Amino acid sequence: MIREVEMQTHSLKETKDFYENTLGLAVVQKLAASFSVQAGASTLTFTESDPGRQPKYHFAFNIPENQIDEALLWITPKVQIIPSQGQEIVHFESWNADSIYFYDPAGNIVELIARHNLNNSTNELFSSASLLCVSEIGLPVGDVEEALLKLSRVGIVPWQDYHSQFAAAGDEQGLIIAVRQGRVWFMSDQEEAYPHPLMIRTDVCEITLDDLVGMQVRGIT
């Protein structure tokens, strides 16, 4: 499971306001140049980026597998949905999942995903508490297969088939989405995946990515 993700943002105040007041997530830490919010079992931390930089990321929140329609009703007044072929809900046959996509104020592509393979259905009213965890984080890399090799050394192995441009590693509670640097993000018609400073902490490892250094994976013992 993805326990913590740390990213950078060029619009710290607006991003904090969005996650705290628009999505209703609890702020668990606030410093002069960063803040953290709790989303179910995961913590999201945003740190102010250097002047002139506008880092952008893709990540997804798991929601109860039976509540994609409820999620759409909840999120629609808060954001502008990114449609796919005129549809606000995107169905993934091979993943047995349904998703909703939108941008946050920093330009990150955010996803709510109902994974029907998971036994997490509920009759509770949909709310910010229905964001169960960060279940995907995009990881732009120079070489997807090399990234998979590094991840496999700490037990994070490919989930389903992969190719040189895209691979998902882990499981449905936490997937590292390795994409080839320069590939246009899914659900974006122009935003290219580019490596920006990033830290991902899972149950088994800590992954750091810096566009000047590269990808490093450290096992947690």
Each residue of 135-151: pLDDT tens digit? 999 999 999 999 999 99
Please give the order of strands across the beta sheet that includes 198-202: 26-31, 34-39, 42-48, 2-9, 198-202, 205-210, 214-219
Number of domains in the chain: 1
Q: What is the pLDDT of residues 45-60, one digit of tens each?
A: 999 999 888 999 999 9
CATH of the domain at 115: 3.10.180.10
Domain that holds residue 35: 2-219
Residue by residue, pLDDT tens for the chain (221 residues) are 999 999 999 999 999 999 999 999 999 999 999 999 999 999 999 999 998 889 999 999 999 999 999 999 999 999 999 999 899 999 999 999 999 999 999 999 999 999 999 999 999 999 999 999 999 999 999 999 999 999 999 999 999 989 999 999 999 999 999 999 999 888 887 678 989 999 999 999 999 998 777 899 998 76
CA angle 175, 84, 186 (to 5 degrees): 35
Q: Residue 5: its pLDDT value, please?
A: 98
> 209 and 178 in contact (C-beta within 8 Å)?
no
Two structure tokens written together for 103? 């941008």
